[in-house]
């Protein structure tokens, strides 16, 4: 037998949809934020919305259905937004998602999103702010295997900041640092297997003072001057490269930041 409370909720079911159309959109519109790529933290963010289940027998069930719908909406938005993420200056995640196999792998990564915030509404609807790290995507699209583990030297520095101020840099998942003889100094191939999936190659900042305060490079970062930027790749001199001689452990951990001006096709937060 259905309790009086449940019967009352069932009778209300027919009116919830009308109430939803009159109330929820206005509330949601005020709170909703646009999806964004955060190149500083290498995080993709989105907001998913979920209406209550009008066929639910009680408020708790309605809210549960709303959260399920919001999660599905957030994933859908992430799948759209991730297509604009640059792998290199000339290659995007969307380009690679033409393959169904790759699309499935990308979706599997995005399904691991974390819920950063929840907003509940009086009609039992809900919004979820979600975020997912981009480092696993870089690992997915990397062509080089992680290096064999070696016993690293004790580093003199806690992180590396590549100073490319006044140069146009394209933020990407797989940037490279080259020297002026075109030899690769640092790339995803430098990272340990763990760092490839957690840290990513680097974070991006516009201001040097902000980069120097970031926990990624800790309290004793080494600043390396960049002489040229070519899309998502940056170039340092051989003299500057010598300063990295004892920094293999730092580079393997991905404790790296690039400071520069975004090119016309990209934005830094």
Q: Using alpha carbons, list the distances in angstroms from residue 245 to 31, 152, 179, 248, 253.
A: 49, 11, 13, 7, 15
pLDDT tier for residue 59 given thresholds of 50, 70 and 90 = confident
pLDDT tier for residue 109 given thresholds of 50, 70 and 90 = very high
* pLDDT tops 50 at residue 210: yes
Question: What local confidence, expressed as pLDDT, does residue 152 receive?
Answer: 61
Q: What percent of the chain has pLDDT over 70?
A: 83
Phi then psi for 154, rounded to 5 degrees?
Answer: -70, 120
* pLDDT tops 70 at residue 138: yes
Q: Which residues, other chains included, contact 189 with Cβ-Cβ below 8 Å and sequence gap of 6+?
A: 142, 144, 145, 146, 147
Q: Which range has the worst mean pLDDT, 26-30, 141-145, 204-208, 237-241?
A: 26-30
Question: What local confidence, expressed as pLDDT, does residue 2 receive?
Answer: 43
User: 6-27 pLDDT, tens per residue?
Assistant: 444 433 443 344 333 333 443 4
Phi then psi for 19, rounded to 5 degrees?
Answer: -65, -40
CA distance 165 to 120: 43
pLDDT tier for residue 68 given thresholds of 50, 70 and 90 = very high
User: 70-97 pLDDT, tens per residue?
Assistant: 999 999 999 999 999 999 999 999 999 9
Q: Domain residues of the chain, as ranges?
A: 4-140, 144-262
């Amino acid at each position: 037998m259905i309790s009086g409370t449940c019967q009352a909720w069932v009778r209300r079911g027919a009116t919830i949809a009308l109430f939803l159309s009159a109330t929820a959109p206005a509330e949601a519109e005020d709170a909703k934020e646009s999806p964004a790529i955060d190149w500083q933290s290498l995080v993709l963010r989105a907001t998913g919305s979920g209406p209550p289940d009008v066929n639910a027998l009680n408020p708790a069930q309605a809210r549960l259905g709303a959260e399920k719908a919001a999660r599905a909406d957030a994933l859908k938005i992430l799948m759209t937004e991730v297509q604009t993420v640059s792998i290199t200056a000339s290659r995007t995640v969307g380009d690679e998602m033409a393959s169904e196999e790759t699309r499935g792998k990308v979706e599997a990564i995005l399904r691991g999103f974390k819920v950063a915030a929840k907003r509940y509404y009086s009609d039992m609807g809900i919004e979820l702010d979600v975020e997912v790290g981009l480092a696993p995507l870089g690992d997915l699209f990397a062509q080089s295997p992680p290096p064999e583990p070696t016993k690293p030297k004790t580093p003199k520095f806690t992180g590396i900041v590549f100073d490319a101020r006044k140069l146009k840099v394209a933020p990407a998942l797989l940037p490279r640092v080259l020297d002026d003889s075109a030899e690769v100094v640092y790339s995803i191939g430098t990272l340990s297997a763990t760092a490839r999936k957690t840290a990513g190659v680097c974070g991006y900042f516009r201001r040097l003072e902000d980069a120097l305060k970031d926990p990624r490079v800790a309290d004793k970062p080494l600043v390396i001057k960049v002489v040229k930027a070519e899309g998502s790749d940056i170039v340092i001199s051989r003299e500057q490269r010598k300063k990295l001689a004892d920094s293999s452990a730092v580079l393997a951990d991905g404790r790296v930041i690039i400071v520069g001006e975004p090119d016309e096709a990209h934005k830094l937060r």
